[in-house]
Structure 1
């Protein structure tokens, strides 16, 4: 029986997770080692329910015809690495590379995860009004942004993360903040931060003014009296025209 160790291809990768941006490039970097000097057979696949072959090659020479969605977007390197250009959202997933050499007994394998996202555009806080009456049942703030995939939301009050408060209710995705039973202490600056794996955006702060009920009543009553006096004066001075 032979006692010589079995030879094989060993593949290493500096990273296992790469965050890519739509329209840009991502390098799926690997390095292989082998005792053979022959050119390697390289196969990259995108793992799906049914794996999708991205490219096959001998060395850097592509074997066969590339799929239409990968044409002019693929570049192979001698160490087995794959450069994928003009990234699309559909490119996201787990990529597996297999490298084999005729003289070697074993095929080397390595997987790399690629995420692809659209950068977050600058968010803004939307409200129906920037003023609210003290002890109102609810006041809602909405963190809105036009672009960006996989967003996560954080709310800030006076530039600091919101403290744990039972009156501060967040929607399941944290995009909407609802302040219940509004208090005077809620009078402050509010902003939101939106981020994803490749970017972050922060809104301009918006000032929410809380009025005490007594103050509002004074304003309304004063305005009402002024209007009543004006109407009485107009009626007293008005005389029907003679025909």
Structure 2
């Protein structure tokens, strides 16, 4: 009789456990069902797909389907053993099972069929293996085309009234509402407020920018529909009042026209409803209404004055707001010269500005020339003198001898408007001196007529320097 050691017994038990574990894994049953909620349409069939597989010898395969509503116990609906189907008599015409396929068909689908469906598969062979899964089913009713209602339906005034848009549908489950403006999704904003389910849109306050095409888009997991376009009526304006003409030259608010021209002026402003226009002519501090309507015709040769002021007034009868603009018509006695092609003309204001700048520059240049030209003449005369005489002219000794004080002196006279020109008592003007000359001309004349020293005095000065040389 063989005896087993404790170590041999240990390895034998381990091999048996590994064998039975591998057999269990290989013969395990696996069920595959949709991992998300299945949405069905009321009145339409619904197919619940189920796949299962196992790796073992099976003598019997049993399939069972149970239905579980919210807060209720599961209820048997249909089952099968091998090829035999065992339906519940209450649902035998509603549920279809074709074994060995475990998928279930529901036809027709009703709202009461919404809930959890549980499938269980049992396989008997050397042993019995089983597996089960749950499928969640939601039943939806397709949405009908929505309708949008506007309150008030007659329109509102900008910054005064509010608009409420309501979206309704006759049928549909789990409806989601989305508002559209001009084909784009509309989101909450400073003046846009939505109800809890987005079925109602409130616009507070209404402004001109809220004008547009609105629609309501409704949807659920099985359908989607959009309403008809609706454009709420919003009253606003007038905005951007302006006057245009078909002839003449326009610079800002001034219109320049030729004599004999018939000029048509057009007054316009953005407004809803359209504005009422009024034309006023201002003459000699008086005003008079001359025409109603957006157009005014002016015949320039019938205008008594060369410059006439006009005013166009725009009034919105619904909003109660008004605006006005002033402009001036200048009638030229000669035709306007066209200086460029393709509608381009030279501005008369630009011509006047250019001439003014030219005159200013010319006057400035003349003033600078008169200011600095005498100094240039003086410098030329100084440079033309002998070097010795120039040095003497730069030094003022202060001696009493007239010969030592020889030099170039500049005597300046200031004109006196009351008593005539006066000259310093130390100077004797030359014979060409003219009373009333300006300061620079006087300096020029004094320097030009400096009297020359006698030749004898000059020779005595040289002899004195020879007899008394300057020590080095």
Query: What is the TM-score when the length of structure 2 is the normalising length?
Result: 0.43
Distance change (3 Å), C-alpha of 1:54 and 1:16? farther
- Structure 2 unpaired stretches of 5+: 1-15, 239-271, 274-315, 321-472
1:107 counterpart = 2:135: no
Distance change (3 Å), C-alpha of 1:220 and 1:110? closer
Structure (1 or 2) with the greater strand fraction: 1
Return the offset for 1:64.
5.6
Return the offset for 1:136.
3.6
SS at match of 1:90: helix
Residue from 135, 143, 146 that aligns with 2:167: 143
RMSD of aligned C-alpha atoms?
2.3
Q: How many residues align?
A: 219
Contact 1:16 1:111 in 2 (8 A): no
Q: Which moved more, 1:159-168 or 1:176-185?
A: 159-168
Structure (1 or 2) with the greater helix fraction: 2
Return the offset for 1:127.
1.5
Residue from 114, 139, 143 that aligns with 1:116: 139
Query: What is the TM-score when the length of structure 1 is the normalising length?
Result: 0.81
Aligned position for 1:152: 176
How many angstroms apart in 2 are the aligned matches of 1:98 and 1:170? Answer: 47
How many angstroms apart in 1 are the aligned matches of 2:233 and 2:67? Answer: 53
Aligned position for 2:74: 51
Task: Work out which of the two has the higher radius of gyration on C-alpha atoms and give 1 or 2.
Answer: 2
Contact 1:8 1:105 in 2 (8 A): no
Deviation track 1:98-138 (CA, whole Å, cap 9, x = no partner) reads 00022253311122221110111111211231622212453
Deviation track 1:50-85 (CA, whole Å, cap 9, x = no partner) reads 112222222453326332xx2311111222000001
1:161 counterpart = 2:260: no
Distance change (3 Å), C-alpha of 1:200 and 1:179? same
How many angstroms apart in 2 are the aligned matches of 1:130 and 1:58? Answer: 71
1:28 counterpart = 2:48: yes
Aligned position for 2:28: 8
Aligned position for 2:112: 90
Contact 1:89 1:117 in 2 (8 A): yes
Distance change (3 Å), C-alpha of 1:213 and 1:66? farther
Deviation track 1:198-242 (CA, whole Å, cap 9, x = no partner) reads 000011110112102776761598xxxxxxxxxxxxxxxxxxxxx
How many angstroms apart in 1 are the aligned matches of 2:129 and 2:145? Answer: 51
Distance change (3 Å), C-alpha of 1:168 and 1:75? same
Distance change (3 Å), C-alpha of 1:60 and 1:23? farther
Residue from 153, 166, 176 that aligns with 2:200: 176
